[in-house]
């Protein structure tokens, strides 16, 4: 596996693979990798000949008071995991390579407010601008045929799909179902912030969503389900920021005849902010 940090070296290596006619697949990450990330690499291997993983803790998507400074940097372990998972290249640029003039002083990509300023975006202003900007830069640098993202970050996935459609990137976006621990907790780099006691509580988030899905599918009113689910999450010892049922394809408010839905939530538990979702069908 090649490990590069310079843009010029990345472009030279990619040019050689492209000239050989090889299909390139991108897996963007912020590092501190877990089994869910490595599963993305395994899926990526099914979609092309060369898998490029990136590790970049993107300052543009962290707001004031968030965990940018304490987000774990584990590049050596990440490289070992990616090598074992079958990645062909790890690109881990420094911040100054990605943002020579600073993370907020250059050209930024602003996703539509209807996607970016709701749900997590309402609690993290500017977050999805930072996500769209760095993903757009990585798409431009790597020019992959395919890019692979986890569905745990469903809102992020919708922002990226819209980015590709609106800016005409010739890239296939592959969403991969959430990888979970045996007790249902969605795998996340931020799970490492949980104490043992908090880790025992955390699966209640997914359990509450499962119950909510069953209620919606049984015909319960969505507003009632959302309120009850917030109460269930809080009663379990977490602090819910939101619970919302949306259309799965565009995060719009669902009408009575909409069948393909997603329920999304974010909740605080100790120092961790946990997010989760379930995509489901209402007949």
Q: Which residues are catalytic?
A: 37
Rounded Cα distance between 205 and 202, Å, is: 6
| Strand pairing class (260-269; 239-247) | antiparallel
3-state secondary structure of 12: helix
Burial profile 150-163: b = 16 or more Cβ within 10 angstroms, e = fewer: bbbbbbbbbbbbbb
Handedness of CA 235, 227, 208, 193 (dihedral sign): negative
Q: Quick check: 38 and 14 in contact, CB under 8 A?
A: no
> In the chain, where does DSSP find H-type helix?
7-19, 35-45, 75-85, 95-98, 113-116, 120-123, 127-142, 154-166, 196-201, 204-217, 222-235
Rounded Cα distance between 90 and 52, Å, is: 6
Residue length of the chain: 283
How many other CB atoms sit within 10 Å of the CB of residue 28?
23
Rounded Cα distance between 220 and 225, Å, is: 7
Rounded Cα distance between 136 and 269, Å, is: 32
Closest to 26 measured CA to CA, from 168, 162, 170: 170
């Amino acid at each position: 596996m090649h490990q590069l940090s310079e843009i010029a070296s990345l472009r030279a290596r990619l040019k050689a693979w492209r000239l050989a006619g090889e299909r390139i697949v991108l897996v963007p990450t912020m590092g501190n990798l877990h089994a869910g990330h490595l599963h993305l690499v395994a899926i990526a291997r099914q979609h092309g000949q060369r898998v490029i993983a990136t590790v970049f803790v993107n300052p543009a998507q962290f707001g004031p008071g968030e965990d940018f400074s304490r987000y774990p940097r584990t590049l050596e372990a990440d490289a070992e995991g990616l090598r074992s998972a079958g990645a062909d290249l790890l690109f881990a640029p420094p911040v100054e390579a990605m943002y020579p003039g600073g993370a907020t002083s250059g050209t930024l990509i602003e996703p539509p407010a209807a996607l970016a300023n709701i749900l997590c975006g309402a609690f993290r202003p500017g977050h999805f601008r930072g996500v769209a900007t760095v993903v757009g830069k990585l798409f431009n640098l790597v020019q992959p045929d395919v890019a692979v993202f986890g569905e745990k970050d469903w809102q992020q996935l919708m922002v990226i799909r819209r980015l590709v459609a609106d800016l005409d990137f010739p890239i296939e976006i592959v969403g991969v179902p959430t990888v979970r621990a045996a007790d249902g907790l969605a795998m996340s780099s931020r799970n490492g912030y949980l104490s043992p006691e908090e880790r025992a509580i955390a699966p209640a988030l997914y359990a509450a969503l499962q119950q909510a899905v069953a209620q919606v599918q049984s015909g319960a009113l969505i507003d009632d389900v959302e309120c009850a689910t917030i109460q269930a999450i809080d009663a379990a010892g977490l602090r819910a920021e939101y619970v919302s049922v949306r259309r799965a394809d565009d995060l719009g408010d669902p009408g009575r005849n909409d069948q393909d839905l997603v329920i999304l939530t974010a909740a605080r538990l100790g120092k961790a902010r946990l997010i989760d979702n379930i995509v489901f069908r209402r007949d």
